[in-house]
Structure 1
Amino acid sequence: MPITVVTITRTRPGLLARAVRSAQGQRPPGGFEHLIVIDDCLDTYRSLRELPEPPANVRWLLAGRGPRDVSGPGRSSRLRNMAVRICRSPWIAFLDDDNEWEADHLASLLECAARTGHRAVHSQSQMVNADGTPYLEERSPWSEDEAEGRAEYARLRAKGVVEPGSCVRRDRLDPLGVPDPVIEVDTGEWLLARELLLEVPFRDSFDARDEAERIGEDDKLAMDLRARREPVSCTGLPTLRYYLGGYSNNFSLSFDSTFSWRE
């Protein structure tokens, strides 16, 4: 298969089923395989094994945990890197278990990669609340402090990333040398060459500053691609439906009883 879709999941089989349905709606040339990495959760593993007719292009594996393993961006990075190593497709996309794609997501990314010759291409996104309604608040959902969130929204509005009355985010990766750059590409927006991800794996070390600034594994990957001047192209299409409520933008509820930003 030319593309492997990687989904990391743990204790959310209902959301995972929605993500799988979304992936199965994709029709990229040559097809794709969907690799689901289950993070040490037997209930989710059993829910997949008990499917009466699982899609033929879906496979899954159960990744056990050691005594020091916890949920968080470091664990997610290690599981993503493991998936990259074991798959053999030339292209890899990531669909988090709580998000969805529009039907043309993979096809439009593959077309962009073929047209540009770039090893890193991405889409843009639609921000939605947990119930699927558009997120229209003029505030960055990744800022716990309201004033900081509204200031960041104003900055991104001036940069053309967000627009009042719209849930679309025109994410991008500004090159080196651009003042006050935009470095905003979600993991679910990328289509990346496997060889590139072997050269530039997800970083799995996070500290107090990362926690305070909500810097996740996708942020560090974008920083690393930018620092090495990797050519990047964008489809200009908001084909990722990003559902709010994950660990990077949930400030009131525990994401996972084992969760820790720092290990």
Structure 2
Amino acid sequence: MLVTVVTITRTRPELLARALRSVQEQKIHAPFEHIVVLDDCDASYRSLREGGPLPANVRWILVGRGPRDVSGPGRSSRLRNMAVRISEAPWIAFLDDDNTWEPDHLDSLLECAARTGHRAVHSHLRMLNRDGTPYLEQRDPWARDPEEGRAEYARMRAKGVVRPGTCVRRDRLDPLDVPEPVISVDTGEWLLARELLLEVPFTDDFDAADEARLIGEDDKLAMSLRERREPVSCTGRPTLHYHLGGYSNDFTRPFDATFSWQD
């Protein structure tokens, strides 16, 4: 296998089915596998099986929970790291169960990695509402306070990350010497060498300061890569479809009854 795609899921079989289709529709000229980590939700697997045959290149990993295990960025990090260790492919990509990719997402990332020789490459994204319509509000969706959200959108507009009238977000990782840097690459945008992820695994330690700033595992990974000056390239193409409504941007309802930012 050249690429392993990792998806973590919990009790959302209808979204997982959409993510599975998106991975299987990849127009990639190389063998790949899809590791689906079922976070204490074997019912999701049974539900999908009832819908018909499942793809042969999917590996299903059921992980149970102890009495103190909770949902959150810490557990997500540990499950991602586990999948990286299980994989034997030289390249790893991540697709959350509520997101999808353009059919040439993986192929364009592999081309970028081959052209640059970099171990860390990423795409851009299209930000969508939960119903799939473009998110066009001029407000950062990860800010709890509307005024802070508008201010952050203005900052990202000045940096060239967002632009009014389009849902495309041009994420990037600015070098250490850039003032007021952009440090924003979603997990689903990355293609990373497995050896790099073994050197720089996802951080699973989160505290009250991280919760207040809504710092997730993808943010900490980007910070770690930036701090070690890892060369990073971007395809410049918005091949990730990022659907709003996850724990980092939906403040109207609990993401999961067990959710906790801090373990």
What aligned pairs does 1:32-181 form with structure 2 within 5 A after superposition?
32-181=32-181
Note if contact 1:120-1:230 (Cα within 8 Å) is conserved in structure 2. Answer: yes
Q: What amino acid is the match of 1:190? A: W
Q: Which digits, 9 at most, give the CA deviation of each residue in 1:145-189, with x for residues without a partner? A: 011000000000000000000000000000110000000100000
Equivalent residue, structure 2, for 1:25: 25
Is 1:259 the counterpart of 2:259? The answer is yes
Separation in structure 2 between the aligned mates of residue 142 and residue 3 of structure 1, nearest angstrom: 30
Note if contact 1:45-1:62 (Cα within 8 Å) is conserved in structure 2. Answer: no
Separation in structure 2 between the aligned mates of residue 198 and residue 59 of structure 1, nearest angstrom: 20
Runs of 4+ in 1 over 4 A off after TM superposition: none
Note if contact 2:101-2:239 (Cα within 8 Å) is conserved in structure 1. Answer: yes
SS at match of 1:55: coil
What aligned pairs does 1:198-217 form with structure 2 within 5 A after superposition?
198-217=198-217
Q: How many residue pairs are counted as aligned between the two chains?
A: 263
Note if contact 2:17-2:48 (Cα within 8 Å) is conserved in structure 1. Answer: no
Separation in structure 2 between the aligned mates of residue 247 and residue 63 of structure 1, nearest angstrom: 21
Separation in structure 1 between the aligned mates of residue 45 and residue 29 of structure 2, nearest angstrom: 30
Give the stretch that moved more between structures: 61-70 or 71-80: 61-70
Superposition TM-score, scaled by structure 1 size: 0.99
What root-mean-square deviation, in Å, do the aligned CA atoms of Structure 1 and Structure 2 show? 0.8
Give the stretch that moved more between structures: 40-49 or 172-181: 40-49
Separation in structure 1 between the aligned mates of residue 234 and residue 242 of structure 2, nearest angstrom: 17
Separation in structure 2 between the aligned mates of residue 17 and residue 49 of structure 1, nearest angstrom: 10
Q: What amino acid is the match of 2:236? A: G
SS at match of 1:80: helix
Cα shift at 1:86: 0.5
SS at match of 1:254: coil
Separation in structure 2 between the aligned mates of residue 69 and residue 82 of structure 1, nearest angstrom: 16
Give the stretch that moved more between structures: 78-87 or 57-66: 57-66
Cα shift at 1:144: 0.8
Cα shift at 1:68: 1.2
Separation in structure 1 between the aligned mates of residue 48 and residue 134 of structure 2, nearest angstrom: 30
Q: What amino acid is the match of 1:109? A: L
SS at match of 2:123: strand
Note if contact 1:206-1:262 (Cα within 8 Å) is conserved in structure 2. Answer: yes
Q: What amino acid is the match of 2:124? A: Q
Q: Which digits, 9 at most, give the CA deviation of each residue in 1:183-221, with x for residues without a partner? A: 010000000000000000000011111111110000000
Note if contact 1:91-1:191 (Cα within 8 Å) is conserved in structure 2. Answer: yes
Cα shift at 1:49: 4.1
Q: Which digits, 9 at most, give the CA deviation of each residue in 1:28-75, with x for residues without a partner? A: 221210110000012113224445311111121100112211000000
SS at match of 2:237: strand
Give the stretch that moved more between structures: 3-12 or 46-55: 46-55
Separation in structure 2 between the aligned mates of residue 48 and residue 57 of structure 1, nearest angstrom: 15
Q: What amino acid is the match of 2:35? A: L
Separation in structure 2 between the aligned mates of residue 219 and residue 255 of structure 1, nearest angstrom: 19
Cα shift at 1:17: 0.2
SS at match of 1:255: coil
SS at match of 1:33: strand
Note if contact 1:123-1:239 (Cα within 8 Å) is conserved in structure 2. Answer: yes
Note if contact 2:206-2:261 (Cα within 8 Å) is conserved in structure 1. Answer: yes
Q: What amino acid is the match of 2:179? A: P
